């Protein structure tokens, strides 16, 4: 019963932010229309997690244990000791610097626990807030990936950011 209840609460918490068009605006996915969309999303993610194709963490508010977003790793290359990060946060909490804190903790985990040498992130060129987060955590802009993905009916440009282990310093949020 506990697992079922916990799963239901996660579905509802994810649906709350994933159904918001503001949140999905710069992502490749459309806003969730129903809890079934969220359940399907979680089922696919569990498959990726089980195959170790992704590693995801919830972003939880400390004061009330509420799930308000997710961040994690994907596109692993263990041969080359690198991966890419992704993140999403409820629009209600964007002004609180929680995303910067979460991404900094994710990068710290990648360099110290996963022993990565390079962490990458891509962001759409229109997503100024995400670019600000990446710069705040010390990632360097490397260049433009022209028409790299076909998203929501159009080819989309991305900026590529990276950080190397030798450039990393302990986060200020510890």
- CATH number at 90 reads 3.40.630.30
Distance CA 102, CA 34 (A): 27
pLDDT of 85 above 80 = yes
Please report whether residue 172 resides in a domain.
no
End-to-end CA distance of the chain: 35
In terms of pLDDT, which residue wins out, 77 or 140? 140
**Global confidence as pTM:** 0.81
Encode 80-100: b = buried (16+ Cβ within 10 Å), e = exposed. Answer: eebbbbbbbbbeebbeeebbb
**Number of domains, the chain:** 1
Most confident of the following: 7-21, 47-61, 70-84:
70-84
Percentage above 70 pLDDT, the chain: 89
- The domain of 67 spans 2-167
Distance CA 174, CA 167 (A): 18
Q: For the residues of 67-130, what is the DSSP string, one character each?
A: EEEEEEEEEEETTTTEEEEEEEE-GGGGGGTHHHHHHHHHHHHHHHTS--SEEEEEEETT-HHH
pLDDT of 51 above 90 = no
Give the closest residue to 19 by CA, choosing from 5, 35, 7, 8.
Answer: 35
Please report whether residue 173 resides in a domain.
no
Average pLDDT over residues 123-137: 93
What's the confidence (pLDDT) of residue 7? 43
* pLDDT class of 120 with cuts at 50, 70, 90: very high
Please report whether residue 64 resides in a domain.
yes
Helix, coil or strand: residue 133: helix
Please report whether residue 159 resides in a domain.
yes
pLDDT of 74 above 70 = yes
Distance CA 29, CA 152 (A): 8
* pLDDT class of 82 with cuts at 50, 70, 90: very high
Average pLDDT over residues 111-135: 94
What's the confidence (pLDDT) of residue 162? 97
């Amino acid at each position: 019963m506990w697992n079922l209840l916990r799963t239901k609460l996660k579905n509802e918490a994810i649906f709350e932010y994933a159904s918001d068009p503001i949140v999905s605006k710069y992502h490749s996915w459309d806003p969730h229309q129903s809890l079934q969309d969220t359940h399907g999303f979680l089922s696919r993610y569990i498959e990726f997690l089980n195959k170790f194709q992704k590693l995801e963490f919830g972003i939880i508010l400390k004061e009330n244990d509420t799930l308000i977003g997710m961040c994690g790793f994907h596109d692993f290359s263990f041969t080359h000791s690198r991966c890419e990060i992704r993140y999403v946060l409820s629009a209600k909490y964007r002004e609180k610097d929680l995303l910067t804190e979460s991404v900094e903790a994710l990068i710290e985990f990648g360099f110290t626990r996963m022993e990565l040498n390079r962490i990458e992130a891509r962001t759409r060129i229109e997503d100024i807030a995400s670019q600000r987060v990446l710069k705040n955590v010390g990632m360097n802009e490397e260049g433009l990936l022209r028409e790299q993905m076909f998203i929501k009916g159009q080819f989309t440009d991305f900026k590529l950011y990276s950080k190397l282990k030798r450039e990393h310093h302990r986060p200020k949020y510890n």
